[in-house]
Amino acid sequence: MPLATTRRTGLVEQVIGQLRAAVTQGDWPVGQRIPPEAELAARLGVGRNTVREAVRALAHGGLLEVRQGDGTYVRATSEVSGAIRRLCGSELREVLQVRRVLEVEGARLAARHRTAEELRLLTDLLDERDRIFAERPFAEFARVDAEFHFAVVRCGRNALLTEIYRGLTEAVTASVAATSDPYPEPAPIEHGGLLRAIADGDPERAAAEASGFLDQLLAGQDQTAR
């Protein structure tokens, strides 16, 4: 996203808005170092103090991480995601527990409200997931699996649930990666039953399918902890 010169009123707020947009729209992916302060100031047409204050605000909100002597990095795609990462940290079991709460209800709502077009999207994502598993590009598998779960939640037509789950994007993707490395054999955790339940418009079966595979992952964490 090209950064535009700001107007001379509310400069910090305008810079915050532009930097936030660059993050949320994916122009600066999670983990990437953003341009240095001097470059941002020149591109935005503001002073370095204004940029510094905007970066500080976004770091406080969890979107950015300032690493002294190294630069500023993208930490999350939204303030919600940043807050969730601070609360959950890297504790995989906690992430899986939160996923279970959200995804079970998301699956139930998806079975009630999904459209034919959304069902085609879910089918395509699941087909892509299984194809990627066979080809073994690990990072892509985690990304597409997380995208499938988010698409299920979106089908439920609950805007608040969708936004909360969107805030879990990085945590969900990381949890998929953590529970799929090394790849399970001979196949990844099966999601065909979940898709069929959503296609059949069966809310309780969809909820049971969602809880089933997450309970399986949680049980695996219990065994690992012993």
CA distance linking residue 21 with residue 15, whole number of Å: 10
Q: Which residue in this structure is represented by tokens 């240095």?
A: 36
CA distance linking residue 143 with residue 147, whole number of Å: 6
Whether pTM exceeds 0.85: no
CATH of 11-75, one of 1.10.10.10, 3.40.50.740, 3.30.70.3270, 3.40.50.720: 1.10.10.10
Question: Which pLDDT score is estimated for 177?
Answer: 85
Question: Which pLDDT score is estimated for 202?
Answer: 98
Task: Name the nearest CA neighbour of 76 among 66, 65, 87.
Answer: 65
CA distance linking residue 80 with residue 157, whole number of Å: 19
* Joined tokens for residue 131: 């194809």
Question: Which pLDDT score is estimated for 187?
Answer: 65
Residue environment code for 128-166, b if the CB has 16+ CB neighbours within 10 A, otherwise e? bbbebbeeeeeeebbbbbbbbbbbbbbbbebeebbebbb
Question: Which pLDDT score is estimated for 42?
Answer: 95
Mind listing the pLDDT tens digit for each residue in 29-68? Answer: 888 999 999 999 999 999 999 999 999 999 988 889 999 9
CATH of domain 81-225: 1.20.120.530
Contacts of 134 (CB under 8 A, 6+ apart): none
| Domain ranges across the chain | 11-75, 81-225
Q: What is the mean pLDDT of each run of 10 residues along the chain (226 residues)?
A: 58 93 87 94 94 93 90 85 61 90 97 98 95 84 94 97 87 85 65 97 98 92 69
Identify the three-state secondary structure at position 33.
Answer: strand
